């Protein structure tokens, strides 16, 4: 079936493998008049969607780091590796913080334990919390220190929030 791309106006052939003539005619009748992007326009649209998602994740990651008053460490590797790994790290940070908004452990400190772009690229496709587990396994001592600091901060926070008793109250 010949189709015209609505974006660029290019005519191209849209085909599908059918088992018999009746199936092919049904497919053509079902899709008659549909607008389909040509391969080049479809690729450009997908790339723009990916870039928009990357920009959104980077903006959210910057907002989360600013809110925490911290920064992410500079990654090591080639310029292309660093750019790619920063996108992945931003996505992981957003995934983890959206899944666990009240996390007691400082996720930024754990993410900063892995400064190599290669690690982030090798673990692209691993869901956010899975990446944290891999960092944890590779840096147990540092992660335990982060846990101790988080627990201490939580204890201080509870002490500050505990209401003070007035002098006239009894312990009944």
One domain, residues 80 and 22: no
- Which of 23-37, 53-67, 116-130, 137-151: highest mean pLDDT? 53-67
One domain, residues 77 and 118: yes
Q: Which two tokens stand for residue 20?
A: 């018999």
With respect to residue 47, please indicate whether it lies within any of the assigned structural domains: no
Output DSSP code: residue 69: T
Give the residue with greater pLDDT, 131 vs 11.
Answer: 11
With respect to residue 168, please indicate whether it lies within any of the assigned structural domains: no
One domain, residues 64 and 13: no
One domain, residues 82 and 141: yes
Give the residue with greater pLDDT, 129 vs 140.
Answer: 129
SS3 76: strand
Between the alpha carbon of residue 132 and those of residues 59, 76, 105, 123, 138, the distances in Å are 21, 19, 11, 10, 10
* Model pLDDT, residue 48: 94
One domain, residues 61 and 8: no
Instruction: Provide the percentage of residues in the chain whose pLDDT is more than 90.
Output: 17
One domain, residues 23 and 85: no
Instruction: Compute the average pLDDT of residues 58-65.
Output: 88
One domain, residues 23 and 65: no
- Contact at 8 Å (CB) between 3 and 12? yes
Say how far apart CA 137 and CA 132 lie, in whole Å. 9
Give the residue with greater pLDDT, 163 vs 4.
Answer: 4
Q: How many domains does the chain have?
A: 2
Residue 56: pLDDT band (50, 70, 90) is: very high
* Model pLDDT, residue 83: 92
One domain, residues 68 and 140: yes
Full residue range of the structural domain in which residue 145 is found: 53-161
pLDDT, tens digit, 9 for 90 and up, residues 38-49: 888 889 999 999
pLDDT, tens digit, 9 for 90 and up, residues 3-46: 788 888 888 777 778 888 898 888 888 877 777 888 888 899 99
Give the residue with greater pLDDT, 81 vs 24.
Answer: 81
One domain, residues 62 and 137: yes
pTM (global) more than 0.75: no
One domain, residues 65 and 30: no
Say how far apart CA 87 and CA 117 lie, in whole Å. 10
With respect to residue 12, please indicate whether it lies within any of the assigned structural domains: yes
Say how far apart CA 36 and CA 6 lie, in whole Å. 7
One domain, residues 30 and 110: no
Q: Which two tokens stand for residue 94?
A: 């957003």
């Amino acid at each position: 079936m010949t189709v015209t791309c609505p974006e660029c106006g290019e005519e191209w052939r849209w085909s599908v493998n059918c088992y018999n003539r009746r199936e092919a005619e049904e497919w053509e009748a079902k899709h008659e008049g549909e607008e389909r992007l040509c391969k080049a326009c479809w690729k450009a649209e997908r790339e723009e969607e990916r870039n928009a998602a990357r920009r959104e994740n980077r903006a959210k990651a910057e907002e989360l780091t600013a809110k925490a008053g911290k920064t992410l460490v500079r990654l090591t590797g080639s310029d292309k590796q660093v750019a790619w790994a920063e996108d992945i790290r931003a996505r992981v940070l957003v995934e983890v913080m959206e899944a666990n908004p009240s996390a007691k452990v400082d996720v930024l400190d754990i993410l900063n334990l892995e400064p190599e772009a290669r690690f982030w690229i090798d673990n692209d496709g691993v869901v956010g919390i899975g990446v944290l587990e891999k960092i944890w396994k590779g840096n147990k001592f540092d992660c335990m220190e982060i846990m101790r600091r988080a627990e201490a901060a939580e204890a201080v926070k509870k002490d500050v929030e505990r209401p003070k008793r007035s002098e006239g109250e009894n312990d009944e």
